[in-house]
Amino acid sequence: MNKLDKFSILLWLIVGVLSLVALFKNLLVNNLGIENINTLTNLIFIFASIIQIVYLVKKKNQHFKNEDATIDDKLLQLLKEGKDVQAVKHAREALGLSLVEGKQYIDTLKRELGE
């Protein structure tokens, strides 16, 4: 379990505890009706949903960064082996590039290698 997973779980626990505290406080102190409890529950659910969406977006972005790094590693390996055509083909398939864009991408990687 990575830091982001632990952070998300911690936030959900905090939201859960705060919602229970607010619910019991309002029930004991103010003797709220069922409508107010439903409103409170809906607000807590919306807040928790926003937290979860932020978590999922961050996790997805992290996945794409890792995937791009893996693709570049594979392309660099192909270039080191002198397989430029295969590197262009792999770049086009993996990244959805046209032939010209794939060639330009590989040329950029070759410059980074110092070739």
For the chain, give every domain's residue range.
Answer: 3-113
> For position 110, what pLDDT does the model report?
86
Q: Which pLDDT score, from 0 to 100, does residue 89 have? A: 92
pLDDT at 45: 80
pLDDT score for 30: 66
pLDDT reported for residue 86? 92
List Cα–Cα distances, 2 to 6, 8, 28, 63, 64, in angstroms.
6, 10, 39, 13, 16
Q: Check residue 35 and give its pLDDT.
A: 65
Q: How far apart are CA 64 and CA 7, in angstroms?
A: 20
Q: Taking phi first (over 0 means left), then psi (-120 to 50 degrees means alpha), and beta for anything else, what does residue 3 get? A: alpha
Helical spans, DSSP H, in 1-115 = 3-25, 34-80, 84-95, 99-113
Give the pLDDT confidence of 9-18 residue by residue, as tens digits: 778 778 777 7
Tokens for 59, please give them.
Answer: 């996790």
Is the pTM here over 0.85, yes or no? no
Give pLDDT < 50 ranges for the chain.
115
Q: What is the DSSP letter of 26?
A: I
Cα distance between residue 59 and residue 5, in whole Å: 9
